[in-house]
Amino acid sequence: MSGERPPYPHVYQISVSDGGVPKKPVGEARVTVRGVEGDRQRNLKFHGGLDRAVCVYSLEVIEQLQQAGHSIEPGFSGENLTLAGVEWEGVQPGVRLSIGPELALEVMSYTAPCRHNAPWFHDGDYQRISQKAHPGWSRVYAKVVNEGVVRPGDKVDVIGVVN
């Protein structure tokens, strides 16, 4: 997304690939229970599926990693949605995300980083974005509760843990 950032939590970037990383930005995407249209995962044992339909990450966490000298960019670690202005520590399993006028996601789990992320980190330390090794720095997987089209700039609301 170019230009000034909206003053509210929002979608910064939508990223897809034909398998693997980095994922490349797109101007909009339809999100279904199966994931982001136009996106594909190479290894369905660890990626994709209904409970891992969308990978979500924080722009502010990426920026902190960049400030520490890592070469990561939005979409590089395989996330489909990069969010800006969201209190990332509150995005955890059980939380719902309302995105734009239609899309609703439920965070199901933290992601486990894989070796394909090594190029973006000093000494190949892709565990830098592991929830187990570095709590609060992980991406999350979400299932789609309500399908919809998403665009950069769409407002994001974090809704507390769903029982």
Structure tokens, 114:
């894989």
Average pLDDT, the chain: 89
Which CATH superfamily hosts domain 10-161? PK beta-barrel domain-like (2.40.33.20)
Residues 70 and 159: their CA atoms lie apart, in Å, by 31
Residues 68 and 156: their CA atoms lie apart, in Å, by 27
User: What per-residue confidence (pLDDT) applies to 152?
Assistant: 97
Q: Which residue has the higher pLDDT, 72 or 49?
A: 72
Structure tokens, 150:
């998403």
For the chain, what are the domain ranges? 10-161
User: What per-residue confidence (pLDDT) applies to 163?
Assistant: 55
Task: Kindly report the number of other CB atoms within 10 A of residue 145's CB atom.
Answer: 14
User: What per-residue confidence (pLDDT) applies to 104?
Assistant: 98
Read out DSSP for 55-120? EEEEHHHHHHHHHTT----TTTTS-SEEEES--GGG--TTEEEEETTTEEEEEEEEPPP-GGGGGG
Measuring CA to CA, which residue among 137, 48, 134, 57 is closest to residue 97? 57
Instruction: Summarize pLDDT for 89-140 with one digit per residue, the tens.
Output: 999 999 999 999 999 999 999 998 888 878 788 888 888 899 999 999 999 9
Is residue 1 pLDDT above 70, yes or no?
no
User: What per-residue confidence (pLDDT) applies to 2?
Assistant: 52
